[in-house]
Amino acid sequence: MEQESAQQSRSPRPLVIPLPGELPDVRRDAAKAFEVLRSGGVIITPTDVGYGMMAASVEAIERAFAAKGRQAGHSMGIIGTYELHEKLHSLPPEKFRLTRTFSEDLGLTIAVVAKMKDSITDLLPEHLLPSLDKITKDGTLGLAICEGPFQRELGRLNDASGQVMIGSSANLTGQGQKFQVEDIEIAVLEVTDLVVNYGRQKWYLYGRAGTVIDLDNERVLRIGANYDVIGERLANWFGWSVPEDPEFDTKEKKRVGVSINLSKNEACM
């Protein structure tokens, strides 16, 4: 009934928060996003690697899937916390140590693909099981551990309630990552109930979605934002063989940076 009510009350355009005159408030805004998810809505929220489109009910997932123009077999992933990653994936301790280092210790957003636990149907909310084919493939499960204060708070609320959030980038399939709400296509916004607009997102200069790694086979599946940092640490700290980034060559970059001081008369830190 809650999901039907949410669908009937949807307006042609989404609610955007913060409201005019308000500043971002992570606890307030995450609580609002959580409630919209819980009532069967679709939300668009900020992540370090661009805006994401998320849902937590079968109807909302189908709506988001259709709006993006996703074809059958093109899966979406779970967006969640390191704790949810531990709960759903079947991995040896050293692989969890890797993802914990990147997400919990260093605060880096990273998406992982790995073998899911055999008991996955018991670990996911029952109402999400009809959407299992959209989030799993050949016994593996994709999960993005999104860092940053907003995503951590939203993830905490989801974990506390047992809610699992499914998501993807807030764009039409194949049309590129969106780092500002103003760039998101109308077709995507029209099926969205709530947009959390925190302005231009952190890694916009890369113009990429997040980096994705295959934990089972120790390989990079997608070179994404911040890959120069992630790839270097995968190689140096965990012994992975990683491909070079074709666009950002860190070997040619100077190691000592000089800031641009706009004031000639005042000392800057």
> Is pLDDT of 59 > 50?
yes
Pairing of strands 43-47, 219-222: unpaired
How many CB atoms sit inside 10 A of residue 163's CB? 17
266 pLDDT band, cuts 50/70/90, is: low
Per-residue pLDDT tens digits for 3-26: 444 444 444 569 999 999 999 999
Grade residue 238 by pLDDT with cuts at 50, 70 and 90. very high
What's the confidence (pLDDT) of residue 65? 84
Q: What is the mean pLDDT of residues 213-220?
A: 97
Q: Which domains does the chain have, with CATH numbers?
A: 2-198+206-239 (3.90.870.10)
Please give the pLDDT value at position 41: 96
pLDDT at 253 over 90: no
**With 80 as the cut, is the pLDDT of residue 94 above it?**
yes
Per-residue pLDDT at 133: 82
Which of 30-44, 60-74, 177-191, 247-261 shows the lowest mean pLDDT across its residues?
247-261
Give the model's pLDDT for residue 4: 43
For residues 204 and 88, the answer to whether their CB atoms sit within 8 Å is: no
Residue-wise burial string across 211-228, b where 16 or more C-beta atoms lie within 10 A, e elsewhere: bbbebbeeebeebbbbbb
Q: Is the dihedral of CA 202, 205, 210, 212 positive or negative?
A: negative
Mean pLDDT of 175-199: 95
Indicate the pLDDT class of residue 262, thresholds 50, 70 and 90: confident
Cα(143)–Cα(261) distance, rounded to whole angstroms? Answer: 41
3-state secondary structure of 51: strand
Categorize the per-residue pLDDT at 174 as very low, low, confident or very high, splitting at 50, 70 and 90.
confident
Q: Which of 79, 14, 47 is nearest to 199 (CA)?
A: 47
Instruction: Pick the more confident residue, 67 or 83.
Output: 83
Contact 166, 135 (CB under 8 A): yes
pLDDT at residue number 242? 96
Residue 223 has pLDDT above 80, yes or no: yes
What rounded mean pLDDT belongs to the chain? 89
The closest of 54, 108, 58, 118 to 88, measured between CA atoms, is: 118
Percent of the chain topping pLDDT 70: 88
Polymer length in residues for the chain: 269
Cβ atoms of residues 178 and 91 within 8 Å: no
What are the C-alpha distances in Å from 45 to residues 16, 79, 169, 217, 264?
Answer: 10, 11, 10, 31, 40
pLDDT at 91 over 70: yes
Helices 149-161/26-38 angle, 10° precision:
40
Helix (H) or strand (E) holding 90: none
Q: How far apart are CA 102 and CA 109, in angstroms?
A: 8
pLDDT of residue 248: 84
